[in-house]
Chains A and B, each alone.
Chain A
């Protein structure tokens, strides 16, 4: 069965610290991978995406993610977190031939001063 796992429900980091949010997927074929961010009361905004090519992708707001096929992972990173990064983050997977995205359960990020 297809699945997207975000093992961390809630992460707290200090402002200025580095961040890594984990995402693992389970699919037979190479997926298309996305990270979305949701601020409180808002819709989802695309941070970055991976379709093919370079496995390290850069996104908006200083985020990057690395696709590791051997680990079926697509972890999101940021070298220095800002207070405005506090939000919920969703990893999503698309499959060639399927129109919809499959979402993980999300990781809520809290940033402390």
Chain B
């Protein structure tokens, strides 16, 4: 049981290049999320997908796009990378259990992205 798997773990991009961060979960969760982590700012939500077929903007969506490919997979795309997007990116998933109003989020190991 792998949980939440992110690829790649490290990436260096040149300004203007594009790339897609991949995320997959094997816990049959409905909801998936992309966060970015920057020093002194905690984790900020970029986009989330409450269920298969839906996506919504979070706190810092500019410069990113997402695709909920199926229930397991949620990808994050940078169309034209900028140095301000240098960060650690985390994918997470969660699902409301029966009788619960909320459940915790499970996180991947992160992708460390540097844009030069």
Task: Give A residues with C-beta under 8 Å from B.
Answer: 4, 6, 9, 32, 34, 36, 41-46, 49, 51, 90, 92, 94, 96, 99-101, 103-106
Contacts and interface: CB of A to CB of B under 8 A. Distances in A.
Chain B interface size, under 10 / 10 to 19 / 20 to 34 / 35 or more: 20 to 34
Interface in B23-42: 31, 33, 35, 40-42
Interface string B82-116: 00000000101010000011101111111000000
Tell which of B94, B101, B104, B106 has the most Cβ of chain A within 10 Å. B104
Nearest to B100: A51
A105 B37 CA distance: 9
Contact of A44 (B31, B40, B50, B90): B90
A32 B97 CA distance: 14
